[in-house]
């Protein structure tokens, strides 16, 4: 695949949406075709599965299976075709989120998640994952000011600390594709960190 795959990760309230839009605009100004998408979601089927995951009670295995089912459709219908034609795909969350939320937050078996990851998208991984990291308490304050909580956003601080630790573990396992961005700082400083990381990679 000739395109470039960039993902944004982080606990709810980290500010991903703002910086995704800014990055997409920056890349478009440089002449790139940019596809912005999200997970769970990105296709009609995946968006329907997203609604179930966010609003219906279920156990961790059911969550993981639904998320990976949505991901399979998303990869086949959106991500892989865009990369094949040379586009840059900027995605709000990908499989790292499943390891962080279902693995870290819910305590679900990481070996099962790894098997699902292999079945669903094989060797397809982001070229760059921008992890917008901040303390769980600060993220909770931001969420409270922004919107009504879904099933995940209603979880307690301990849950989000486990999610945060799950992201740290993913970064430790594949440090070459991760960049930790300190999202506790003001918007301009966070944006500058992202720009610096892109420039460091020659992008």
CA–CA dist 15, 11 (Å, integer): 9
CATH number at 110 reads 3.40.50.300
Residues with pLDDT less than 70, the chain: 1, 143, 145-149
Q: What is the pTM (predicted TM-score) of this model?
A: 0.93
For residue 128, the enclosing domain spans: 4-200
How many domains are there within the chain? 1
Predicted confidence (pLDDT) per residue in 146-172, tens digit: 666 677 777 888 999 999 999 999 999
Task: For the chain, give the mean pLDDT.
Answer: 93
Rounded to whole angstroms, what are the CA distances from 154 to 7, 13, 111?
A: 24, 12, 27
């Amino acid at each position: 695949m000739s395109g470039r795959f960039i993902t944004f990760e982080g606990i709810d309230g980290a500010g991903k949406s703002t910086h995704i839009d800014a990055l997409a605009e920056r890349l478009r100004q440089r002449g790139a075709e940019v596809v912005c998408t999200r997970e769970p979601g990105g296709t009609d089927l995946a968006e329907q599965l997203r609604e179930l995951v966010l609003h219906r009670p279920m156990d961790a295995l059911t969550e993981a299976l639904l998320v990976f089912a949505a991901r399979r459709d998303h990869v086949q219908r959106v991500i892989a075709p865009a990369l094949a034609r040379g586009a840059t795909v900027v995605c709000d969350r990908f499989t790292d989120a499943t390891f962080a939320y279902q693995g870290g937050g819910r305590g679900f078996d990481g070996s099962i998640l790894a098997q699902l990851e292999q079945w669903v998208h094989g060797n397809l991984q982001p070229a760059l994952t921008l992890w917008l990291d901040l303390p769980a308490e600060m993220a909770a304050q931001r969420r409270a000011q922004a919107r009504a909580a879904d099933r995940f956003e209603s979880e307690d601080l301990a849950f989000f600390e486990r999610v945060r630790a799950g992201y740290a573990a993913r970064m430790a396992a594949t440090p070459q594709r991760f960049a930790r961005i300190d999202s506790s700082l003001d918007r301009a400083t966070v944006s500058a960190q992202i720009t610096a990381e892109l420039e460091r990679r020659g992008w």
